[in-house]
Structure 1
Amino acid sequence: MKILKQSLIIFFVFACQYCQAQSTKRTPYPNYLQINHAVNAVTMVMVHDVVSPPVAARYYAYCMLGAYDIVSVNNKKIPALNSFVKSYLPNNSLTDLTIKYDYKIAAYYSILETAKLLLPSGFMLSDDEEAFIRLLQKNGVDQNIITNSVKVAEMASAAIVAFSKSDHYSQLSALRRYTPLKEDGKWYPTPPAYMEAVEPNWKTIRTLVIDSATQYKPTPLIPFSKDSTSAFYGQVKAVYDASKHLTPEQINQALFWDCNPFAVTTSGHMAIGYKKISPGGHWMHITALVAKQANLGFDESIMLISLEGITLMDAFISCWEEKFTSNRIRPETFINKYMDVKWQPLLQTPPFPEYTSGHAVISNASAELLTYFLGDNFAYTDNTEIPFGSGQRNFKSFREAAAEASMSRFYGGIHYMESIEKGNKQGKQIAAGILYKIKKAGIEPLRK
């Protein structure tokens, strides 16, 4: 336990130093309001809690909604949440306020406060809130403004938490326990940890913008077959053959986009866990990074990062619905049973069914959203994985990054090409549906 605490302290210090280094770039609003700091603080708690990918996306979405609500009340150019988020009622307590406060401070604080109320170890964010207030005081912000802004943030967060309670998340534990099917072609737990399936009932979670979990279902998958001449066997063999001839660049891509919160390795009889950022967390950090690079104002940044969180949540619900409907076997299981008992993929196989690829779905959905707002040729350096053990990569566009993220799962040996290709299409369809709703609400591109 002592070693674990020391490791966590080192991890948090390194992450904070990384964020401080990033804040040296020119930005259009005060350093103490850098939104990426708040997003990073939320991520660190989720890494600590080992939050699964779909659950992490839900937390990111809700953590940003209070901030969006506050900004939209104070900036009429930002459409209200209820203009595109289903079932969300306007927070009249915000519109009727008469106290004097700084809405940007309130919005920033709301991100931390909502996460504090929702996350299992949310209490850890109390330190971040206190540090934020001290920073405001150090920068000469009037104490009455600080106090009132915190009150407004708490009001907004309370409303979002109340809204979140109606999305069926609290009812998941009461649903029937998932039992893997011992049938040919069906998903079964994989080594080294043989973990239980992650969130098999996630399709019951209420979507925020798209109509339902089944609105953007992919086309039917290739039927399972052990026949070496079949299309399915060909899909498996392609994974197997590729794993034998990976280039250093392909290996780098696979490792860079790993984003596995449950990574486990074994040494003798000992199992060692590694905590990493989730796939959705990676794209949230990319969004915060490019918002700074584009020199977006505070309000625009809150809007963009909030919409990314919303897109991630809906994309994961849609993807997970298909995963546990088709319930397809992973390459590792098939290859070990029918082709090569000693074969191992480059990446650890995640504990849920194969079809469609979650990375493909959420990366393409994210890329389409960001391309709409910032353009098709927005070049950037993705260094968001540095605190989590990876290096950095350069991209000429968001679509290029999404394509690489998708293929990384094939190189990693955990997805068939069919799942990647159809996952790409599914993600783009989800983004198109969300963009249709937000365009209808009057949200325009941030760069033309």
Structure 2
Amino acid sequence: MKRLLLLFAWLVVSPSGKAEVAKQDLAQQLQPTVFAVTMVMIHDVVNPPAASRFYTYCLLGAHEIVARNQKNVVSPSVFVRAFETISIDSKQPYNYQIAALYCILETGRLILPSGYMLEEKQKKLTDQLRSEKYPETVILQSIDVAQSVAKKIVAYAAADNYRKLSARTRYRPSKADGFWYPTPPAYIEAIEPHWRTIRPMMIDSSSQFKPKPPVAFSKDTISAFYKLAYDVYSVGNKLTDEQRFIASYWDCNPFAVNTSGHMSIGFKKISPGGHWMNITSLATKKAGLSFDKALVVESLVAMTLMDSFISCWDEKYRSNRIRPETVINRYINVRWQPLLQTPPFPEYTSGHSVISTAVSELLTFLMGDNFAFTDNTEVIFDLPERQFKSFRQAAGEAAISRLYGGIHYRDAIENGQAQGKAIGEFVVQQLKKAGIKPVL
């Protein structure tokens, strides 16, 4: 009788009618699992739009696994474009949380350039589960489920036009006045000029949230554009220590290159999306969310990042506006340099302003308007922790940091925030329609 009771404690029936294995909640494993994916992307110097895509697909399969096992979790198939419910045909008991964690790593292993690096994290995860006395049959069956779902996610991802990008006409920057041109010190060519063609997750199209047109370029010293450029120049020349720190804190530039004589040294950094993914992990941990709720929040943030980058990049290569550094060097001060290194793509709108505002709207809906948190994302880059009173406060600081850094004009920041807010509000409405509610 005692053995039967113990067996029942291990086996429960999932909503799908399949036997699954239940044990402790594995929420504490989620952050290091997602961060393992981040570290591989830092190693590969993955550009910001592509990083958001990788996060989305790595979490999408895990989200679906949880939804297939928990009735109160809405399947992504309800609100994600062209995504169909994934059936899980497991004849043996498995732990859906183990399967979800392993699926994050397996999907990353399959789609990231250096995905093989995640094999070590997979081994560490399984070794830890064994040390915690999870039955071997349960671990192996959970891995089998994860691998099966990951393959289906990769097949879904293959149809989003990403593979077609390299076959498109190579982007050639215009040398005409007012248009973006590669900037020093590395003069890197344009990043993802055709990203608008990527299939979005929740928004209708890349141009759905087209922002206000940018202020028109002009060399006239009394023009609105010249005043924008001079504003960047003036602010950059009298930065306070706090403003310098804020700019550096939100730099998030994977393409940073320092030069010394004839030698160039690259510095690998986290992407803007990676920064917000880690903030999300920190927030869900502080809130004490269960594994299911925390994973859904991470997944929704990743999707919002992906859609925000698609929308922003659509505008960047439509307006194709010149960067402040180029304008200031040509018409104001040839020796002026911005505090931050200018990223290799057109200026309008500000990417960090768009994606940070959109994600902050989503997180505010899910976790509340006054959710205070301590962000330690930049500690690995030798910057101290930073405290914020809300997600919106953090997003506002990320946006203005681009002016302090000398890489964006004010209208790109402010209109980028408006663009991001519109995206965030749309996402929230779509989620509400799908039956998704705040987690706190």
Which TM-score bucket, shorter chain as reference? over 0.9
Question: Is contact 2:25–2:290 with CA below 8 Å preserved after alignment?
Answer: no
Give 2:84's aligned residue.
89
Match of 2:69 among 71, 74, 82: 74
| Deviation sequence 1:302-345 (CA, Å, 0-9, x none) | 10000000000000000000000000000000000111000000
Match of 1:191 among 168, 184, 194: 184
Question: Is contact 2:25–2:291 with CA below 8 Å preserved after alignment?
Answer: no
Give 1:116's aligned residue.
109
Give 1:279's aligned residue.
272
Amino acid at match of 1:173: S
Match of 1:413 among 406, 415, 418: 406
Give 1:215's aligned residue.
208
Q: 1:31 to 1:441 in 2, by over 3 A?
A: closer
The offset of 1:53, in angstroms, is: 0.3
SS at match of 2:349: coil
User: Where do residues 98-177 of structure 1 align in structure 2 (5 Å cutoff)?
Assistant: 98-177=91-170
The offset of 1:125, in angstroms, is: 0.5
SS at match of 1:100: coil
Match of 1:204 among 197, 222, 230: 197
Give 1:51's aligned residue.
46
2:342 paired with 1:334: no
Amino acid at match of 2:110: L
Match of 1:236 among 207, 229, 241: 229
| Deviation sequence 1:364-408 (CA, Å, 0-9, x none) | 011001000110000011111111332211100000000000000
Amino acid at match of 1:270: M
Amino acid at match of 1:356: T
| Deviation sequence 1:53-95 (CA, Å, 0-9, x none) | 0000000010000100000001111111110001001112x1x
Tell me how far apart the structure 1 counterparts of residues 313 and 247 of structure 2 sit (CA, whole Å): 22
Question: Is contact 2:26–2:291 with CA below 8 Å preserved after alignment?
Answer: no
Amino acid at match of 2:53: R
2:26 paired with 1:39: no
Q: 1:75 to 1:174 in 2, by over 3 A?
A: same
| Deviation sequence 1:231-273 (CA, Å, 0-9, x none) | 0001000000001110000001000000010100111110010
SS at match of 1:266: strand
Tell me how far apart the structure 2 counterparts of residues 359 and 71 of structure 1 sit (CA, whole Å): 31
TM-score with structure 2 setting the length? 0.94
Question: Is contact 2:66–2:96 with CA below 8 Å preserved after alignment?
Answer: yes
In structure 1, runs of 5+ residues without a counterpart are 1-27
Give 1:266's aligned residue.
259
Tell me how far apart the structure 1 counterparts of residues 29 and 377 of structure 2 sit (CA, whole Å): 15
Give 1:343's aligned residue.
336
Give 1:445's aligned residue.
438
Amino acid at match of 2:81: K
Tell me how far apart the structure 2 counterparts of residues 340 and 161 of structure 1 sit (CA, whole Å): 49
TM-score with structure 1 setting the length? 0.92
In structure 2, runs of 5+ residues without a counterpart are 1-22
Compute the RMSD of aligned alpha carbons.
1.1
The offset of 1:33, in angstroms, is: 4.8
Tell me how far apart the structure 1 counterparts of residues 213 and 144 of structure 2 sit (CA, whole Å): 50
Tell me how far apart the structure 2 counterparts of residues 301 and 334 of structure 1 sit (CA, whole Å): 45
Tell me how far apart the structure 2 counterparts of residues 259 and 221 of structure 1 sit (CA, whole Å): 24
SS at match of 2:304: helix
Give 2:15's aligned residue.
none
SS at match of 1:34: helix
Q: 1:33 to 1:106 in 2, by over 3 A?
A: farther
Match of 2:292 among 288, 299, 305: 299
User: Where do residues 320-399 of structure 1 align in structure 2 (5 Å cutoff)?
Assistant: 320-399=313-392
Q: 1:357 to 1:263 in 2, by over 3 A?
A: same
SS at match of 1:407: helix
Identity fraction in percent? 55
| Deviation sequence 1:78-134 (CA, Å, 0-9, x none) | 111110001001112x1x433200000000110000000000000011111011110
The offset of 1:296, in angstroms, is: 0.4
Tell me how far apart the structure 2 counterparts of residues 196 and 158 of structure 1 sit (CA, whole Å): 33
Tell me how far apart the structure 2 counterparts of residues 334 and 326 of structure 1 sit (CA, whole Å): 16
Give 1 or 2 for the bigger CA radius of gyration: 2
Tell me how far apart the structure 1 counterparts of residues 381 and 314 of structure 2 sit (CA, whole Å): 29
SS at match of 1:385: helix
Question: Is contact 1:33–1:105 with CA below 8 Å preserved after alignment?
Answer: no
Give 2:312's aligned residue.
319
SS at match of 1:443: coil
Amino acid at match of 2:52: A
Question: Is contact 1:42–1:112 with CA below 8 Å preserved after alignment?
Answer: yes
SS at match of 1:255: helix
Question: Is contact 2:325–2:407 with CA below 8 Å preserved after alignment?
Answer: yes
Amino acid at match of 1:409: R
